[in-house]
Structure 1
Amino acid sequence: MNGSPASLDAAAMTNASVEVVRDVVYGHGLVHRARPGGPVPRALKLDLYLPARHAHTAPRPALIMAFGGAFHRGSKENDAFEAEGGNTSVADYCLRFARRGYVACAIDYRLVTEDPEPGTTPVVSAPERIPTSRTDVVRRIMNLPPATPDMLWRGIEAASDDMAEAVRFVRSRAAEWHVDPARIALGGFSAGARTALNVAFGEKVPVAAVVALSGFMDRADLQRHLSGFDGGPAVLLVSAENDLDYIAEATPGLVAQLRAAGLHCELLDVPGAGHFYQADAVAVHDAHGATTVERAMAGFLRRTLGG
């Protein structure tokens, strides 16, 4: 396993229920970084959250999560932002679900600002249709000029390639990490949720479930990906009452498309919230009623992954 005992996070080890291994290299991706002479490789890393005594248990379900940040910022260590009262970070979700018995991974991926190579497995067919309302805000915060559709497309494609590679890597470590390869779920917040959907449907990487916390997919792209799709993962789509304009507009249609394709799709609404919300935020499940975001995620994963 990449990552030595010395890389164990000492602070995390004070909690006896979870062991954390930082910066496990799961692959490499090409970036330009405004340098002449062509792209250069950079390491892609993940943080591994293992339930205690994992070596003595039967194979467990796994949850692989990608951070949010409009494909421009955030990290596997922290994508909690202060806007609208803040949100629970992907790292925190991984810790919470490792405590529940999942092998969890918070992954790194290439960002738009690195000018990444987009790869050869396109998940977005029309860059000019990529919504920009959130990326425009983030780029202003970062003192960057507006992005072109091609810049955003390259970042989205690179992120999906990276998460797809992370799934393959986790599957290759299944025996070592006591993961059941048939019970792997993807998840993420915002850009990370969008990436998880892109990997499951656009890249067609076989996974059992997807948890999309305020995720988005262009409905025309989803229809294209569903064409000829043999089966597919169960999906939990989470959106807030006052979420980003394009997420609020697209989510009901995405639910209808997935269900029409015969896939198991659950919808969770976070009333009164904007794009940023906490794991313990009150939420309403379309079939199970009042709950919280974390409890809804746990119930969905239990129903679809078992164990």
Structure 2
Amino acid sequence: MNDLPIDIERDIIYGSGCIHFGTAPVARPLYLDRYAPAEPPTTPRPVLVMAFGGAFHRGNRRDDEFGDSPQRNTPVSAYCEMAARRGWVACSIDYRLVPEDPDPGNTPVIGSPEHVPMSRVALVRRWLGLAPTDAATICRGIEAATDDMVQAFRFLQDQAQAWSINPDCIVIGGFSAGARIALGAAYGERLPAAGVVALSGYLADDDLRRGVTGTPGEPPALLVHGDDDLDYIVRQAPAMDRRFAQAGRGSECWKVPGAGHFYPAQSPARRSDGHEATVDQAVSSFLARLATDAASRKHTDYA
């Protein structure tokens, strides 16, 4: 199941979002690229939705590869391709970025906008030649991007029959900013995802307490971070690990020894219980478990 031939369909419009919100608002289309096994399905396939990283300022659904070799991250598009070769339909999504001045919407997921971490954002803005900004501006961008993930999820639910996918097994995830979007959508907006794949993601204390409760229907998460990840991710990782473990929904917490914020999919990683695997193997195993659980539930429903 690791080398199925796949088809890639690019530039599928899954929705739209308002940009230039504070000046001359205009809607722009939101796109995804779909990766799927080439062979016709015999049963509805599970779905993985991935959002790219880039501090909410850069990157795109095909290229969010940063860092210097060997500490250079695998782009989310490659994770989508790997999932498709294992039998999943995988979608790498576009979303609105902070420099576009997006409409933040009316479904807030960040409880304390004034406490949004700014260290990585400030660095990326300097690299891009942008003036310093404030946490409120970044917060609006995060809220907009989270709404876009929700749109993508709803779009895929609507495509269930046309694309032969299982609407009850849609897993969302991403890297860095994309992981934060996925966590916000699942645990802030309570999106009924089957699971979350968070590669170097982040939730602040108040959002963690409010969102991760262990209630029925709350999705499990795969949390991965580097030993020497971004300062705020390293500080918050123990609290996130504890909270997700206490929630008891089958979440897994992994650390990549010796890695910073950027790490390849083939990097060795260690789970909180001491089990070792590569990041890709951890993702693959987590997805396989979710697909099996979803298939079991569906079988029970029709029994």
TM-score norm. by structure 2 comes to 0.92
Show CA shifts across 1:162-199 (max 9, x none).
00000000111011111111111111000000101000
Size of the alignment, in residue pairs? 290
* Residues 215 and 264 (structure 1), Cα distance of their counterparts in 2 relative to 1, 3 Å cut: same
Which of 17, 23, 26 is equivalent to 2:14?
26
Which of 160, 165, 185 is equivalent to 1:179?
165
Partner of 2:118: 132
Partner of 1:190: 176
Shifted more, 219-228 versus 133-142: the winner is 219-228
* Structure 2 unpaired stretches of 5+: 296-303
The whole-number CA distance in structure 2 between the counterparts of 1:305 and 1:223 is 28
Amino acid at match of 1:168: R
Amino acid at match of 1:245: D
Amino acid at match of 1:297: V
Amino acid at match of 1:66: A
The whole-number CA distance in structure 2 between the counterparts of 1:203 and 1:277 is 29
Partner of 2:60: 75
Matched, 1:169 2:145: no
Matches within 5 A, 1:197-208: 197-208=183-194
Matches within 5 A, 1:147-162: 147-162=133-148
Contact preservation (8 Å) 2:4, 2:85:
no
Show CA shifts across 1:52-101 (max 9, x none).
11x34211111000000000000001000134631100011101110011
Amino acid at match of 1:252: P
The whole-number CA distance in structure 2 between the counterparts of 1:226 and 1:273 is 27
Shift of 1:33: 7.0
Amino acid at match of 1:17: P
Contact preservation (8 Å) 1:33, 1:113:
no
Matches within 5 A, 1:238-257: 238-257=224-243
Contact preservation (8 Å) 1:209, 1:305:
no
Partner of 1:6: none
Q: Give the secondary structure class of the aligned counterpart of 1:46.
A: strand
Contact preservation (8 Å) 1:73, 1:111:
yes
Provide the alpha-carbon RMSD of the alignment: 1.7
Q: Give the secondary structure class of the aligned counterpart of 2:43.
A: coil
Which of 275, 292, 295 is equivalent to 1:289?
275
Shift of 1:159: 0.5
Partner of 1:86: 72
Amino acid at match of 1:61: P
The whole-number CA distance in structure 1 between the counterparts of 2:204 and 2:41 is 43
Shift of 1:145: 1.5
Matched, 1:48 2:19: no
Partner of 1:9: none
Show CA shifts across 1:194-225 (max 9, x none).
10100001111101110100000112112123
The whole-number CA distance in structure 1 between the counterparts of 2:183 and 2:104 is 17
Q: Give the secondary structure class of the aligned counterpart of 1:98.
A: helix
Contact preservation (8 Å) 2:172, 2:182:
yes
Amino acid at match of 2:271: H
Shifted more, 194-203 versus 143-152: the winner is 143-152
* Residues 131 and 83 (structure 1), Cα distance of their counterparts in 2 relative to 1, 3 Å cut: farther
* Residues 228 and 56 (structure 1), Cα distance of their counterparts in 2 relative to 1, 3 Å cut: closer
TM-score norm. by structure 1 comes to 0.90
Contact preservation (8 Å) 1:71, 1:191:
yes
